[in-house]
Amino acid sequence: MIVRIMGEGQLDLSEADMDLLNSVDTTLEQAIDSGDEASFREALDSLLAKVREHGKPLALDSLESSDFVLPPADASMDEVKEMLGDEGLIPDVS
């Protein structure tokens, strides 16, 4: 799966990594639903860190289309809320 972090570039993640990311995505959604800024910031930072840690960066000139797009680390809660789909930021691949 090709993931884009806005402002950073694309990374290639395996489907096995998606389960890990989905658990963090759920935590992020819960923080947004409750309006808890501290929990939101922690969950967003954790999600992006896991993508960076487990993903293989693609070349900057790569023309791969992204399977999904994640917000930048400095995104506000409202900005991320607007990006949420029915399955959060990370689609369920199972």
| Model confidence pLDDT, tens digit, residues 36-90 | 999 999 999 999 999 999 999 999 888 889 988 999 999 999 999 988 876 678 7
In the chain, how many domains are there? 1
Number of H helices, E strands in the chain: 3, 4
Q: Report the pLDDT averaged over residues 13-41.
A: 90
Q: Which domain holds residue 14?
A: 2-75
**Is residue 56 domain-resident?**
yes
Which of 27, 55, 54 has the alpha carbon at shortest distance from 43?
27
d(C-alpha 29, C-alpha 13), whole Å:
21
**Predicted local confidence at residue 92, as pLDDT:** 67
Residue 88 domain flag: no
Tell me, yes or no, whether 83 lies in a domain.
no
